[in-house]
């Protein structure tokens, strides 16, 4: 495990993540996120963008794709309602020798390594957790660890992006944090042709007729403002194909069963 020493305090660093995610379509959104991270003058600083949309529209995938476009190491922090300030910064742990050691969070590890941090589902965190990030999200660009007494500055190459589900907020994000999380990039459900492209990328072994059936289902659900996402569509198609091999029936005959098993009876109304 990699470590670094700051003011005679050794911090063990988290490892970057490698995810099997690929952003398909909507190149304009990718450009908007990359533009937010740009620094165009030595007196300039990067934005801290937030990606907003319904669950399953690809917020994390977009963030990861943008980070990989820049060739930077990518770190992921999954926010929860129980996230504490020390979880975001530095946590004390008991080492093999029984002595206290200090583990840097994925956020602090990204700060120190000049990586990119995806703070996932940020609106699940409490105000107390957000307050610990306030100096990082303005032109100060540092965090302070109460546990160690360290002030930790961010590497010049450090970037952060926050994802937030439009419909599932555990806590209200404080206004002083909202003003630091700009710009806001909204991700909507894709159009039919883009949705089909995404399904093909994720399920290259699936027959076109199956994928088109699923896209038709999803588009009807989107029009009714349902929360069914392309992620759900991928799972429906995948389960139908697995069932096809198990019971030797045509996929189209198994798609209603797959819809029911993945999303429940109420989803059947959007089938042909």
**Residue 167 pLDDT:** 65
Name the residue among 160, 71, 156, 85 with its Cα closest to residue 120. 160
The whole-number average pLDDT for the span 20-46 is: 91
Mean pLDDT of the chain: 91
Question: Above 90 in pLDDT, residue 182?
Answer: yes
Q: Which of 40-44, 53-57, 121-125, 263-267 has the lowest mean pLDDT?
A: 53-57
The DSSP line for 138-206 is: STT-EEE-TTT--EEEPPTT-EEEEEEETT--SSPPPHHHHTTS-SEEE-PPPPHHHHHHHHHHH-TTS
Question: Above 90 in pLDDT, residue 25?
Answer: no
Confidence band for 22, pLDDT divided at 50, 70 and 90: confident
As a whole number of angstroms, the distance between CA 14 and CA 208 comes to 41
pLDDT 10s digits, 134-181: 999 999 999 999 999 999 999 999 999 999 987 656 678 899 999 999
pLDDT 10s digits, 200-247: 988 999 999 899 999 999 999 999 988 899 999 999 999 999 998 888
Q: Are 217 and 259 in contact (CB under 8 A)?
A: yes
Question: Above 80 in pLDDT, residue 49?
Answer: yes
As a whole number of angstroms, the distance between CA 207 and CA 192 comes to 17
Name the residue among 251, 254, 188 with its Cα closest to residue 55. 188
**Residue 213 pLDDT:** 92
pLDDT 10s digits, 224-234: 988 899 999 99
pLDDT 10s digits, 114-128: 999 999 999 999 999
Give the predicted TM-score (pTM) of the model.
Answer: 0.88
User: How do the domains of the chain map onto residue ranges?
Assistant: 3-186, 192-270
**Residue 168 pLDDT:** 57
- Percentage of the chain beyond pLDDT 70 is 97
**Residue 251 pLDDT:** 66
DSSP bridge partners of 159? 116
**Residue 254 pLDDT:** 86
The DSSP line for 114-135 is: T-EEEEETGGGS-HHHHHTTTT
**Residue 65 pLDDT:** 93
**Residue 212 pLDDT:** 93
Top-level CATH class of 3-186? alpha beta
């Amino acid at each position: 495990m990699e470590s670094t020493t700051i003011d005679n305090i050794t911090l063990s660093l988290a490892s970057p993540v490698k995810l099997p995610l690929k952003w398909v379509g909507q190149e304009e959104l990718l450009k908007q996120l990359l533009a937010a991270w740009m620094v165009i003058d030595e007196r300039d600083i990067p934005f801290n963008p937030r990606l907003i949309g319904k669950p399953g529209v690809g917020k994390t995938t977009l963030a990861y794709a943008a980070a990989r476009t820049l060739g930077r190491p990518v770190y992921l922090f999954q926010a929860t309602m129980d996230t504490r300030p020390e979880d975001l910064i530095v946590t004390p742990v008991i080492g093999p020798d029984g002595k206290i050691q200090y583990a840097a969070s994925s956020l602090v590890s990204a700060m120190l390594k000049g990586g990119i941090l995806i703070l996932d589902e940020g609106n699940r965190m409490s105000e107390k957790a957000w307050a610990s990030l306030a100096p990082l999200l303005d032109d100060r660009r540092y965090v302070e660890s109460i546990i160690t007494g360290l002030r930790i500055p961010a590497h010049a190459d450090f970037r952060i992006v926050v994802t937030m589900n439009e419909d599932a907020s555990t806590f209200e994000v404080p206004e002083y944090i909202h003003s630091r999380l700009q710009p806001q990039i909204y991700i909507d459900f894709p159009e039919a042709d883009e949705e089909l492209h995404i399904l093909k990328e994720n399920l290259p072994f699936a027959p076109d007729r199956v994928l088109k059936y699923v896209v038709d289902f999803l588009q009807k659900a989107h029009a009714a403002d349902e929360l069914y996402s392309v992620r759900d569509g991928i799972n429906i198609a995948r389960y139908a194909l697995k069932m096809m091999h198990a019971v030797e029936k045509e996929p189209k005959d198994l798609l209603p069963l797959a819809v029911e098993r993945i999303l429940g009876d109420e989803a059947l109304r959007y089938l042909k």
